[in-house]
């Protein structure tokens, strides 16, 4: 169910242990071949599929479409909010949810730059609301093991606007994928301990802008993407997310 498609009396009648899911994403460049809305569309697609499977067992809030994307601002069109702004937004929205009696909160993230703030939210809000179960899910992390079996690009191939995100967009919104300009892998050399992608994060944090990592804005191997692969990615992610949601509901 979608929070904003229900009436106020309908919200009041719901069982308060139902998991309430808050999608958070980004509006930023995704190379020359994908739209600025890629992260939001991917997150909303996963949750729409989940809603078809679980419907009255979950409650989905409206998406937060702009996240922490300062490292993408070298590319036209990218938007960003400050970390403290996003954290305040997450806390304020969660406070509203809890005010109405709900106790199970799931932050569903589809943008890498939001992960640090998301973790801070989980720790801060969880500490101040001990009656609640507070969880953050980032789609490529929750299904990491299954996704490794799908990728065939090797280290550095599944990064920003790479193999996985391009494959998903070929399923979600193929009319928004400009296949004529999908770039080849252009990852710039990085320090070994700071190198990584969606499936294998770096062993240490080292700040670099996206333009320092790749001149095209796409980090990885987008030319290895396919709609068939996108369907497999979706199935793996949905299976993992559904398991977590059911655990929250029944614990």
User: Which of 121, 122, 159, 154 minimizes the C-alpha distance to 140?
Assistant: 159
CA distance 197 to 14: 40
Quick check: 243 pLDDT over 90?
yes
In this prediction, residue 191 carries a pLDDT of: 85
CA gap 54, 247 in Å, rounded: 13
Residue 204 has pLDDT above 80, yes or no: yes
Q: Which residues lie below 8 Å from residue 149, measured CB to CB, with a gap of 6+? A: none
3-state secondary structure of 206: coil
Token couple for 238: 């949905």
Q: Which two tokens stand for residue 167?
A: 């494959």
Residue 132 and residue 120: Cα distance in Å, rounded?
16
> pLDDT exceeding 90 applies to what percent of the chain?
91
Q: Could you tell me the pTM of the whole model? A: 0.97
Mean pLDDT value of segment 158-170: 97
β-sheet bridge partners, residue 107: 22, 136
- 8 Å CB contact between 32 and 91: no
Give the range among 37-46, 62-71, 189-198 with minimum mean pLDDT.
189-198
Q: Are 192 and 151 in contact (CB under 8 A)?
A: no
* Residue 251 clears pLDDT 80, i.e. is over it: no
Q: How far is Cα 74 from Cα 94, in angstroms, rounded to an integer?
A: 32
Please give the full DSSP string across 173-205, using - where no structure is assigned: -GGG--GGGPPPP-PPP--GGG---SSS--SS-
Please report where in the chains the tokens 């070929």 appear, as a residue. Answer: 170
Residue-wise pLDDT for 132-153, tens only, equals: 999 999 999 999 999 999 999 9
3-state helix, strand, coil in the chain (%, to 5): 50, 10, 40
Q: Using an 8 Å Cβ cutoff, are 177 and 34 in contact? A: yes
Q: pLDDT tens digits for 7-65?
A: 999 999 999 999 999 999 999 999 999 999 999 999 999 999 999 999 899 999 999 99
| CATH class of the structural domain 3-250 | alpha beta
Across the chain, mean pLDDT equals: 96
Give CA–CA dist 169/163, Å, rounded: 10
Strands 104-109 and 20-24: parallel
Tell me: pLDDT of 155 over 90. no
CB–CB of 233/168 below 8 Å?
A: yes
Q: State residue 2 phi and psi, 5-degree precision.
A: -105, 125
């Amino acid at each position: 169910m979608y929070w904003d498609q229900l009436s106020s009396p309908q919200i009041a009648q719901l069982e308060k242990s139902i998991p309430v899911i808050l999608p958070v994403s980004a509006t930023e460049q995704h190379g020359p071949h994908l739209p600025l809305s890629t992260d939001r569309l991917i997150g909303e697609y996963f949750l729409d599929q989940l809603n078809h499977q679980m419907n009255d067992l979950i409650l989905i809030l409206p998406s937060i479409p702009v996240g922490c994307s300062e490292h993408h601002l070298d590319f036209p069109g990218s938007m960003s909010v400050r970390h403290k702004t996003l954290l305040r937004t997450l806390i304020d929205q969660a406070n509203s949810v809890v005010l109405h009696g709900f106790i199970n909160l799931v932050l569903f993230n589809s943008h890498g730059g939001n992960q640090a703030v998301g973790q801070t939210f989980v720790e801060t809000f969880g500490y101040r609301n001990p009656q609640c179960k507070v969880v953050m899910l980032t789609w490529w992390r929750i299904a990491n093991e299954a996704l490794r079996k799908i990728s065939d690009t090797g280290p550095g191939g599944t990064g920003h606007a790479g193999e996985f995100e391009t494959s998903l967009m070929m399923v979600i919104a193929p009319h928004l994928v400009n296949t004529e300009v999908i770039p080849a892998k252009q990852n710039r050399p990085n320090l070994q301990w700071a190198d990584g992608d969606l499936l294998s994060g770096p062993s240490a944090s080292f700040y670099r802008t996206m333009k320092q990592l790749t001149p095209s804005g796409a980090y990885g191997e987008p030319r290895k993407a396919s709609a068939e692969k996108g369907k497999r990615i979706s199935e793996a992610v949905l299976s993992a997310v559904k398991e977590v949601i059911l655990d929250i509901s029944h614990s």
